[in-house]
Amino acid sequence: MIPPPKNVKQDARAPSTTELPLDQNLGRITNSVGIPVVNEINPLTVGPHGPILLQDAYLIDKLSHFDRERIPERVVHAKGGGAHGYFEVTKDVSHLTCADFLSTVGKRTPMFARFSTVAKEMGSADTVRNPRGFALKFYTQEGNFDMVGNNTPVFFERNPSAFKDLIAVQKRDPRTHLPSANMFWDYFTLRPVSFHQLLIQFSNRGTPDGFRHMHGYSSHTYKLINHNGLVHYVKWHFRTNQGVKNLSAKHAGELAGTEPDYAIQDLFNAIERKEYPSWTLYFQVLTEKEALNYKYDVLDVTKVISQKDFPLQEVGRFVLDRNPENYFAEVEQAAFAPSHLVPGIAPSADRMLQGRLFSYTDTHLHRLGPNHAQLPINSPITPINTTIRDGPLIMGANGGRNPPYYPNSYGGPHPDPNVREYENDYNVEGIVGRYEYELCERDFEQPRALFKLLAASEQQDLISNLAEDVAMTHEYIQRRVVGVLERIDATFAKRVQEALAKS
């Protein structure tokens, strides 16, 4: 983990400015390998007006590193902000899971959180209409546990092969290099199962008021395994203790022009003012039998589990109380992956989750390299005892002289058969095939319920936001949008159609 700050004070009014003691002396400047530098400004030349010598090693060192300062930005979740904090258990859930960090009421675990826009770019505004990433890294005594969620309880798609496509249509047109409403709505009207997420995105919840005033969700259903191997299916809910606040489309657009880093600045400034944001964690818990017999497929990430059927159960809360000292080292290099699961927590067979188990780690291998887990922000607080060795940018002793293989005769690390990775008697059988999720009436029930749940003013905002965006598409795409909305609610569709006619 990144160590706590020492004698550094940040200006809460202007987070880009670092206030440092004016009388401090950091000593002489060196190059990247610690050799003292005689002159920082003037290169080594032949006379005052002659060419620069290649033997000016410091100039070469400085420029060559500058040429390589940037790493590839994330394809998803490119822009975001983050902070350090802690998670504390407030209710006993030891009957549900053997995860050590959830084992005892009052137990605290250090953590890091990163919030982001999902499909936009590093230079985009924080207030754009888009889902928000909600990624948490818990530095537990059993290794790092990552909860890589969003601020919405559902997602656009339920098959991982569609993940690339749904992100592509939210990027840029390959010819104009501009965002394209035609691409966006062409795709999603051909994939109507996405409209549950789209109704959330085009409601005022699609433009949250910064990161502090939004809930977070696992979206996927996970498994919890207790000490006896008993399994429960669980959805994770992180409810903001600051209260939910959203921006109107008009206000969000204004902030995009005047304060494009609005959410990052708001989070940073609140922590500097010691107004530490916090979220309470709740579980929705189902037994295996309840999950199997529930009216909706609990492994379908386009669906929610009703809180009336399975109420929220409090677990704990996390508090963010320390800002990063270096954005690049701690926020940009933070690597979250749904596959980072500690004993007592396991993935379900949710197809989208299964795809993400691979994709996120693979992204980090591309962006940060095979040893990204050794970066301080990603490194666990527990010792790393592995036969995985070598590769670019090793940090530490690389296992020293110990054998890089298992088994061996020299007391090397060994597996622990007592680790509860999966439930007892877990087996799967079936005929291999490409099984399709067929679109059916049930896929429109929850979007319909969501629309009816909105207050009249919120319904009007949703209709206005949809119409404004859909109006930028071809007429045949507009007709398809209205056609999908008719399957959700006829009155809803008619009101959107009327709004489009006035556009």
Active-site residue list: 77, 150
Kindly write down the DSSP assignment for every residue of 9-67, as one continuous string. Answer: EE-SS-TT-EE--TT------B-TTSPBPS-SS---BSSTTSPBPTT-HHHHHHHHHHT
CA–CA dist 149, 118 (Å, integer): 11
∠ CA(325), CA(330), CA(266), 5° rounding?
A: 65
DSSP state, 206?
G
Give which of 277, 314, 298, 149 is closest to 233, Cα–Cα: 298
Give the strand pairing for 222-225 and 216-217: unpaired
Using DSSP, state whether 313 is helix, strand or coil: strand
Structure tokens belonging to residue 115: 């919030």
Residue 253, phi then psi, degrees to nearest 5: -65, -40
Whether omega before 407 lies within 30 degrees of 0, making that bond cis, reads yes
CB 331 within 8 A of CB 322: no
CA–CA dist 207, 252 (Å, integer): 7
